[in-house]
Amino acid sequence: MTDAANPESVADRRGGQSGWNRFYRKNGRALNAFLALVLVWSVFAVNNPVLFLNPLYYNAFLFSVPATIFLTTSLVFVIVSGELDLAFPSVVGAAGGVFMYSVVLGVPVIPAFLLTLAFGALIGVGIGLIVVYGRISSLVATLGLNFFILGIVNLLAQGRTISAPHAMDSFGYTLFVGKWQLFDTTLRIPNHFVWSLAWVVFCYVLFKYHRFGIRVQLVGDNTDSAREMGINIERIRVSVFIVSGIAAAITGALLVQMANMVWFPTSGKAYLLIALAALFVGGTPTWGGVGTIFGAFFGAMTVTLIPSGAVGAGFAGYWTDFIFGLVIILTMIAHRFSGARVR
């Protein structure tokens, strides 16, 4: 409570930041993530301009990046709420199985996809209830659940991989993972990349402009305050696992289709560290309360670009991990400059 009666007479000349300064204060972390992406790309492009300026190179990138985008952006909700989800890789695998079995049993691709989403949401509810009402730390609970769910899937699948090549002629398949040529270029855009962009926009609006997203942030920032102000903490905490479950289900169903309708139970395993690295490179801090969807999007692009890009740029294969680690550490340092935690 400052400057009450007459704010003009007692001049306080401390105020006023420039517009740009304010913009950076608010979006610094997403900007850092974007700069990291540009920087990594530039280093690669300088080393091998012919490859990196050829649109053809990006076909594989656009094909593989959506899985990481779906997973990383949904994790923003989880981490910002103050939880951690390590179970999503198993949900990816399980959801892929649900999708695949539905298709094998004759369900058309689009209804099978919707069924898979429902499955993901349901698993999310289950995980959320265990974490919230079992009062187990989400790190430990989801670590255990990841093994548990994967174990069940493996037991049910008995080591089989299942395929349903007939579905590749369906409209649903084309809708989800079909490709189209961008103008006159050699760039062929896969539909699931477009869907991932739509998902990013959806998550952005949900996170920033919807009551749900704001409450996720408030719960993560100060749980007690949020409770005292009448926010249903438990419902929010369960819900973030539903978001994560749905994203994992989308990813699971997409991975099956991207692999020409073949399902591997362990298809999600590779994404555990990738998605978490993308999240933190993307500028969402570990402590909860704040985060950035666009940052996560750029982070997902960066971590997808590094392994293939490093090889393309002429670094020998064993450089990949080194570059990966370097980028993570450097972006963490950059993020610190755009604001430490305020209490």
What is the secondary structure of 145-174 as a DSSP string? HHHHHHHHHHHHHTT--EE-GGGGGSHHHH
* Residue 225 dihedral angles phi and psi, to the nearest 5°: -60, -45
Residue span binding other proteins (CB under 8 A) among the ranges 13-21, 123-131, 145-153, 188-196: 13-21
The answer to whether 135 contacts other proteins (rule: CB under 8 A) is no
With contact defined as beta carbons under 8 Å apart, do 114 and 52 qualify? no
Rounded Cα–Cα distance for residues 34 and 158 (Å): 43
Interacting residues with other proteins between 228 and 257 (CB under 8 A): 228-232
User: Least separation, in Å, of the C-beta of 208 and other proteins?
Assistant: 8
Q: Is 91 helix (H, G, I), strand (E, B) or coil?
A: helix
With contact defined as beta carbons under 8 Å apart, do 43 and 302 qualify? no
Residue 162, token pair as written in the block: 């299942």
Residue 193, token pair as written in the block: 């990349």
User: Least separation, in Å, of the C-beta of 221 and other proteins?
Assistant: 4
Which position among 226, 240, 256, 301 is part of the footprint of other proteins (CB under 8 A)? 226
User: Least separation, in Å, of the C-beta of 15 and other proteins?
Assistant: 3
Which position among 5, 50, 53, 105 is part of the footprint of other proteins (CB under 8 A)? 5
Which position among 14, 20, 106, 158 is part of the footprint of other proteins (CB under 8 A)? 14
Interacting residues with other proteins between 179 and 218 (CB under 8 A): 205, 209-212, 214-215, 217-218
What CA–CA distances, in Å, run from 239 to 65, 107, 232, 327?
Answer: 25, 28, 11, 32
Nearest CB to other proteins, comparing residues 1 and 105: 1
Which position among 16, 19, 159, 317 is part of the footprint of other proteins (CB under 8 A)? 16
User: Least separation, in Å, of the C-beta of 223 and other proteins?
Assistant: 10
User: Least separation, in Å, of the C-beta of 215 and other proteins?
Assistant: 8
What CA–CA distances, in Å, run from 159 to 148, 150, 154, 251, 264?
Answer: 16, 12, 6, 21, 9
Nearest CB to other proteins, comparing residues 147 and 202: 202
Write the DSSP symbol of residue 3: S
User: Least separation, in Å, of the C-beta of 120 and other proteins?
Assistant: 22
Calculate ∠ Cα 281-119-157, nearest 5°: 95
Residues in the site for other proteins, rule: CB under 8 A?
A: 1-5, 7, 12-16, 205, 209-212, 214-215, 217-218, 221-222, 224-232, 289-290, 341-343
